[in-house]
Structure 1
Amino acid sequence: MPQPLDHETDRLAPVPSIPNGKLIGYARVSTKGQLLGRQILALEAAGCERIYADKKSGKNAEREELSNALDYLREGDTLIVPSLDRLGRSIQDLIAIVTGLRKRGIGFTSLHEALDTTTPGGRLVFHVFAALAEFIRELIVQGTNEGLDAARARGARLGRPPAMTDEQIQHARDLLTRPKNTVASIARLLGVSRNTIYKYVPELKGGRVALTEETVTAALPGPTPAAE
C-alpha cells in the first residue's frame, strides 16, 4: 500500500517534498492601462519557465490565465507570484488557492513578502495567516449572531420586508369585490404578482363570491346596544 504524502500527514512538511518541478509565474494588473512589465521581469529573474498574466481586477472571479496556470501545474512544481495581492481577492481566497496547491503537492512563493511554502518558515507564516483568517471569520459570525439576538430582544422584525403593506392588502380586497377588476389587473396596479395577491388575500382562494360575502359581512354594523 502506498504511503501517504508528507503534506497529508504533517502541516509543516515541505511541499513539494522534492522541488524538482517547474517554476510557473503568475502576474496580474487591475486595468488595461497598467503595465505588467515589472512583474514579469521579477518572475523571470526568479527563474520562471512559463508566466501567465491577467489584466483584471482581483475582485473579478473570472481570471482565465490564473485558471490556466492552476491547470498547468503538476506535483513538484511551484507557483510564483510577485506579491500576495496579485493572487487572491481576499485572504480567504488566497488561503483557499494555496491550500489547494498544497494538497496537489505544489509549492507556492510570493516574492515581495518572501513567503515560500517550500521552506519551514514560509509554511509557518502561511498557517498563521490561515489561523488569523479563521479567527476573524468566527468573530464576524459571533458579532452577527449577537446583533440578531439583540434585535429580536428589541422586537425588531428580521428578514425581508413583506411584499404588500396592510394598506395595499385592504386596497386589493376592496378592488376584488368589484367583478370587473381581475386579479391580474389589480396585481399590476399594486406592482406585485398574481401569486402575491393570492398569498396576502388567502380568502380569494374560495372564489370572488366568498371574498365579496366576507367583505360585506365585515362592513356590516354591529348589533345596536339595547336602550337602558
Structure 2
Amino acid sequence: MQIGYARVSSTDQNLDRQLKQFEGLGIKKIFAEKISGKDRSRPKLREMLQYIHDDDEVVVTSLDRLGRNSQDLTTIIEEIRSKGAVINILDLPTFDGVQDKNLKALLSNLVMEIYKYTAEEERKKNKITAT
C-alpha cells in the first residue's frame, strides 16, 4: 500500500501541492501536518510510523518534508525500513535502469546522504536568516 506523508513548516503554508501530487499517484492514505521538521516531535509522523508495515511504500515529495535534521532523517528512514516498508522520495533519482541491486542501493544511499546534508544545512541557514 502507498502511504503519503506531507508536511509544511507553519500553519500559514499550504499543503496543496504535495497533496495534489499524491492524488495524481492514486495515494489514498495520507498523513499531513503543518509543523516544523526540525525534530521528530510531529504527531502525524509518529502516527504514520506506527501505521506502516511490511510491503508498504512511504511516499514523500522531497526528503526535507520528512525532516530537516540528518540524524533524525536517518532514524526515520531506518524505522520505515525496519517495519518492512520502503521509502519513495519523488524528487530523488530512482536508478531504475541499474540492474545490479547492490550498486542501485549504493547509489540511492549516496544520493540520500547528500540530500540529508542539504536539508539540514538549509534549515540552519533559514534559522540564521530568521534571527
The CA distance in 2 between the partners of 1:93 and 1:69, in whole Å, is: 15
Name which one, 1 or 2, has greater alpha-carbon Rg: 1
The equivalent position to 2:109 in structure 1, one of 96, 106, 127, is 127
- CA drift at 1:89: 2.5
Higher RCO, 1 vs 2 (CA within 8 Å, ≥6 residues apart): 2
Give the structure 2 partner of residue 41 of structure 1: 20
Give the CA deviation at 1:45: 1.5
Residues 188-199 of structure 1: matches in 2 within 5 Å?
A: none
Paired residue for 1:50? 29
**Equivalent in the alignment of 1:222:** none
Consecutive aligned runs of 4 or more in structure 1 exceeding 2 Å deviation:
119-132
Q: How far apart, CA to CA, are the structure 2 residues paired with 1:63 and 1:122?
A: 31
- Counterpart mapping for 1:27-106 below 5 A: 27-106=6-85
Structure 1 residues 29, 124: CA separation in 2 closer, same or farther (over 3 Å shift)?
same
User: Identity rate of aligned residues, in percent?
Assistant: 37
TM-score (norm 1): 0.43
Structure (1/2) with the larger strand percentage:
2
Which ranges in structure 2 are unaligned for 5 or more consecutive residues? 115-131
**What's the TM-score once normalised by structure 2's chain length?**
0.72
RMSD: 2.7
Structure 1: segments with no counterpart, 5+ residues: 1-21, 133-228
